Amino acid sequence: MSNAKHYLAAEADIDISSVSLSFSARAWSSIKKDKIAFLSVMIVIFLMLVAIFAPWFAPKDPLFQYPEGLSKIGAPQGPGSHFFLGTDQNGRDVLSRLIFGARVSLTVGVVATALASLIGVVIGTVSGYLGGWIESILMRLTDVVLSFPLLLFCIALIAVTGPSTKNVVLVIAFAYWTYLARIIRSQVLSLKEREFVIAARSLGLTTPQIIRRHIIPHLIPTIIVYSTLGVATSILIEASLSFLGIGVPLPQPSWGEMISEGQKYFQSAPWLLVAPGVTMIIAVLAFNLMGDWLTDLFDASTKVAQR
Amino acid sequence: MTTWLLRRTIQMLAVIWGVMTLAFILAFIVPGDPARMVAGTNASAQAVANIRHELGLDQSLVSQYFHFVVRLFHGNLGVSFALQNQTVGSVIMRALPFTMALAIGGILWELLLGIPFGIIAAYRPKSAFDRIATFSALFGLSTPPFWLGLMLLYFLAFKLSVFPLNGVGHPLIWYLILPSFTLGVGGAAFYSRIVRTTVINVLRSPFIEFAQLKGMPASLILKRHVIRHALMPIVTMIGMDLGYFLGGVLIVESIFGIPGIGQLAFRSISTLDVPIITGTVLIASVFMVLMNFFVDVLYTFIDPRVKLQRNT
């Protein structure tokens, strides 16, 4: 009996290690073949580094109003050798503001998504696994939050809580968790009918144990994919809020705020709009492409695992 | 079917009640004093107190909630704080047609661009067209709408003067082309991806092969089988998009200066006009709930297969 157990455990070990090995190997080989995926992952890593080490990357002070940053009549300077991407209406360096803006946008995007994922996974798993009236209440609650138009809901919440970086993060998380909760719930519904969960239950494992050891690990691909896409969405929401003037408070530079300010001077200084806009598109595009690539990757790995 | 419909209706009503309550709570906990806002900064404490009493803001939370619900049942959304003597209903009704027209325009762009692009890309997977369509779809999904709107305004309205700069005028449709395009681009990109996947799967299925073998012309297969299947997932999303647009068009409305629901909501938040905030949020979300319900019901008619699975 104990021999059989050991044998099973050993087999399981080999199985797990070979799967994980082949997974990272597959990730590596797929990223070598897929140039776009490679590029998107590189961009995401680069943006993260820029955000973390913003003071090292930024050539100038993002908040300082350089006297030489304005022309004689007080107009912003175009891109040139001194100010690489030009200056804004206050003579501040656009490139440095973009770099520090990355810090704000990515922090908000990542933290808000992490928080939303946490709430979504807990509510989705609990309601999917327990079912019954708990599920009914949680899912109707999800429906209620989901019924509010996302941006309008965020704005109303900001109006209540007041604009600050912390509130922007909380508000986005509070409005966004519903999407993941729905998806996770439907996955848990099918997972809990699978043989290994039934086996775990008949072996006498408690519900928290089953959820932790047998349900959550299967949800990780979904969580990773939707979190990656969620970062892209959160960056867009944060920019929209900042664009409307109720996002991250001034004078902190954020991409949305730069576009919002830039639109006033756009006719004479188009770089004020082009620079933050293009940066945002590249960032969001990179996160979306990385999400796509991860979806394909996990899709392939679940297929292999099932076989 | 009838039990399902009944259960679904009860669910929908429960959600509407939840939306109503959440909207009320949101309005109640708004910081600042609406009565002071209405009275003006120079009004005496007595005048502010009078206005507070007039607006019913001095009552307890429970009694305010009770009045709120009773009023709603009579279809009465209350009176605006900031715009004197105007009912919330009339203010919203004035803004709604613009938002409605804009939303429908946005949906048209989504369908007009999304479906043909998706189908053509699916017929020639990995072709140059497919790659371009894929890339532009990702681009469309990743472009912030406010940035796109500003760019369109700058190039097509300001530089080339093809389109009016902003606001609304006559004929309305002329003023809505750019805003609705801005609104629809993201959705169009999303639809084209969905349609592409669906059509690729449909083209692989046995009944298409059968139709080909019996000599059905490709154009007829496209019309009879492919398009019908391609539209299935779209139906769900149009309903949700319409609901979403009716509340989420704030950014587009503010860029193009369209006096719709979104602008109304945003302005009322800055003036603390609580009845308008509640009213607009409520209208937008009830629309969303109704649309979802409608789509769910419609779906069981279009696709008989979902009927049995939809009992949850």
Is the CB of B32 inside 8 Å of chain A's CB atoms?
A: no
Total beta-carbon pairs less than 8 A apart between chain A and chain B: 124
pLDDT tens string A163-172? 788 888 888 8
Interface test with A, best of B142, B150, B251, B280 (most A CBs within 10 A): B142
pLDDT tens string A249-291? 777 788 888 888 877 777 777 777 888 888 888 888 888 888 8
Picking from A148, A155, A284, the nearest residue to B142 by CB comes out as A284
pLDDT tens string A93-142? 778 888 888 888 888 889 999 999 999 999 988 888 887 888 888 888 88
Tokens 């009694």 sit at which residue? Answer: B63
Q: Which residues of A touch B247 (CB under 8 A)?
A: 148-149, 151-152
Q: What is the mean pLDDT of residues B272-288?
A: 80
Q: Which residues of A touch B19 (CB under 8 A)?
A: 144, 147-148
What distance in Å separates residue A72's CA from the closest CA in chain B? 26
Residue of A nearest to B289 (CA): A147
- Which helix H or strand E contains B304, and what residues bound it? none
Is the CB of B269 inside 8 Å of chain A's CB atoms?
A: yes
Is the CB of A267 inside 8 Å of chain B's CB atoms?
A: yes
Residues with Cβ within 8 Å of B170's Cβ and at least 6 positions away in sequence, in order, are: none
**175-194 in A: which are within 8 Å (CB) of B?**
none
Q: How far apart are CA B18 and CA B6, in angstroms?
A: 18
Contact B280 A240 (CB under 8 A): no
Contact A288 B142 (CB under 8 A): yes
Tokens 């006498």 sit at which residue? Answer: A204
Q: Which residues of A touch B262 (CB under 8 A)?
A: 152
Amino acid at B301: F
Contact A152 B11 (CB under 8 A): no
Beta bridge partners of B87: B79
pLDDT tens string B90-107? 888 888 888 888 888 888
What distance in Å separates residue A54's CA from the closest CA in chain B? 23
Q: Which residues of B touch A233 (CB under 8 A)?
A: none
Contact A149 B11 (CB under 8 A): no
pLDDT tens string B224-270? 778 877 777 787 777 777 767 776 578 888 888 888 888 888 888 77
Residue of A nearest to B247 (CA): A149
What distance in Å separates residue A204's CA from the closest CA in chain B? 28
Task: Record the pTM.
Answer: 0.79
Q: How far apart are CA B312 and CA B296, in angstroms?
A: 12
Whether the complex's predicted ipTM surpasses the cut of 0.85: no
Q: How far apart are CA B153 and CA B251, in angstroms?
A: 14
Residues with Cβ within 8 Å of A278's Cβ and at least 6 positions away in sequence, in order, are: none
On whether the CB atoms of residues B233 and B306 are closer than 8 A, the answer is: no
CA max distance for chain A: 89
Alpha helical stretches, state H, A34-89: 35-52, 54-57
Distances (CA, A) of B123 to B109, B110, B128, B140: 22, 20, 12, 21
Residues with Cβ within 8 Å of A266's Cβ and at least 6 positions away in sequence, in order, are: A272, A273, B150, B154
Q: How far apart are CA A15 and CA A20, in angstroms?
A: 9
As a residue count, chain B comes to: 312
